[in-house]
Structure 1
Amino acid sequence: MVPKIGIALGGGGARGLAHIGVLKVLEEEGIPIHCITGTSMGAVIGALYSQNPKADEIIEKFRENLNADFYQQLGLNHLKKESAREGEFFQQALQKIKKRIVINLAMNKPAILKEVRLREILAKFIKPGNIEDTQIPLGIVSTSLQSGQDILFRTGNIIDALTASSSIPGFFSPTSVSDDLLTDGAVSCPVPVQFLTEMGAELTIGVEINLHHFAPIKELNIIEIMTRVNLITSRNLAHLMVNKADLAICPDTKDIQWSHFSRAEELIEAGIQITKAKMPELHEIIRKKYPWYKRVFLQI
Structure 2
Amino acid sequence: MTRVIDTERKPAEKTVSLVLGSGGARGLAHIGVIQCLHEMGYIIGSVSGSSIGSVIGGVYAAGKLKDFELWMRKMSRSEILSMMDFTWQKGGLVKGDKVINAMIEMVGDIHIEDLAIPYTAVAADIENHKEVWFQRGPLFEAIRASVSLPLLMTPQIINDRILIDGGVLNPVPIAPTFGDHTDIKLAVNLAGHSDLRQERAQIEQRSHENLDNKDSNPITQLLERFQKPSEQKHKFEDWGVTDVTNQAFDAMQTSIARQKLAAYPPDITIEIPRNIAKIMEFDRANELIEYGYMRAHETLDNYILT
TM range (shorter): 0.7 to 0.9
Aligned residues between the structures: 254
Residue 175 of structure 2 corresponds to residue 194 of structure 1? yes
Residue 235 of structure 2 corresponds to residue 218 of structure 1? yes
Superposed, 1:8-19 pairs within 5 Å as: 8-19=19-30
Query: Which residue in 2 is equivalent to 1:241?
Result: 260
Residue number among 276, 283, 295 corresponding to 1:262 in the alignment: 283
For residues 62-113 of structure 1, give each alpha carbon's deviation from its aligned partner in whole angstroms, at most 9, with x where no partner exists. Answer: 235556333211269xxxxxxxxxxxxxxxxxxxxxxxxxxx9xx6622112
Residue number among 9, 12, 27 corresponding to 2:38 in the alignment: 27
Residue 28 of structure 2 corresponds to residue 47 of structure 1? no
CA contact (8 A) 2:67 2:106 kept: no
Query: Which residue in 2 is equivalent to 1:38?
Result: 49
Q: For 2:163 and 2:277, locate their aligned partners in 1 and report how far apart those are by CA, in whole Å.
A: 27
Residue number among 63, 66, 85 corresponding to 2:73 in the alignment: 63
The gaps in structure 1 that reach 5 residues or longer are 77-103, 286-300
Q: For 1:191 and 1:230, locate their aligned partners in 2 and report how far apart those are by CA, in whole Å.
A: 14
For residues 195-224 of structure 1, give each alpha carbon's deviation from its aligned partner in whole angstroms, at most 9, with x where no partner exists. Answer: 112244442000011363396463389x88
CA contact (8 A) 1:126 1:159 kept: no
Q: For 1:227 and 1:31, locate their aligned partners in 2 and report how far apart those are by CA, in whole Å.
A: 34
More strand by share: 2
Q: For 2:89 and 2:77, locate their aligned partners in 1 and report how far apart those are by CA, in whole Å.
A: 32
Instruction: Name the CA shift for 1:253/1:182 in 2 (closer, same or farther; >3 Å).
Output: closer
Q: For 2:281 and 2:96, locate their aligned partners in 1 and report how far apart those are by CA, in whole Å.
A: 21
TM-score (norm 1): 0.74
Q: For 1:57 and 1:116, locate their aligned partners in 2 and report how far apart those are by CA, in whole Å.
A: 20
Query: Which residue in 1 is equivalent to 2:6?
Result: none
Residue 304 of structure 2 corresponds to residue 283 of structure 1? yes
Deviates more, 1:200-209 or 1:113-122: 113-122
Q: CA RMSD in A?
A: 3.0
Percent identity, please: 25
Residue 255 of structure 2 aligns with an amino acid whose one-letter code is N
The gaps in structure 2 that reach 5 residues or longer are 1-11, 196-231
- Give the secondary-structure state (helix, strand or coil) at the position aligned to 1:129: coil
Instruction: Name the CA shift for 1:52/1:242 in 2 (closer, same or farther; >3 Å).
Output: farther
Residue number among 144, 149, 153 corresponding to 2:130 in the alignment: 149
Residue number among 93, 106, 110 corresponding to 2:91 in the alignment: 110
Q: For 1:57 and 1:205, locate their aligned partners in 2 and report how far apart those are by CA, in whole Å.
A: 24
Q: For 2:252 and 2:267, locate their aligned partners in 1 and report how far apart those are by CA, in whole Å.
A: 23
- Give the secondary-structure state (helix, strand or coil) at the position aligned to 1:7: strand
Q: For 2:286 and 2:247, locate their aligned partners in 1 and report how far apart those are by CA, in whole Å.
A: 28
- Give the secondary-structure state (helix, strand or coil) at the position aligned to 1:52: coil
TM-score (norm 2): 0.73
- Give the secondary-structure state (helix, strand or coil) at the position aligned to 2:35: helix
Deviation, structure 1 residue 265: 0.7
Deviates more, 1:155-164 or 1:55-64: 55-64
CA contact (8 A) 1:167 1:174 kept: yes
CA contact (8 A) 1:253 1:270 kept: no
Deviation, structure 1 residue 280: 2.6
Residue 157 of structure 1 aligns with an amino acid whose one-letter code is P
- Give the secondary-structure state (helix, strand or coil) at the position aligned to 1:171: strand
Query: Which residue in 1 is equivalent to 2:117?
Result: 136
CA contact (8 A) 2:32 2:293 kept: yes
- Give the secondary-structure state (helix, strand or coil) at the position aligned to 2:141: helix
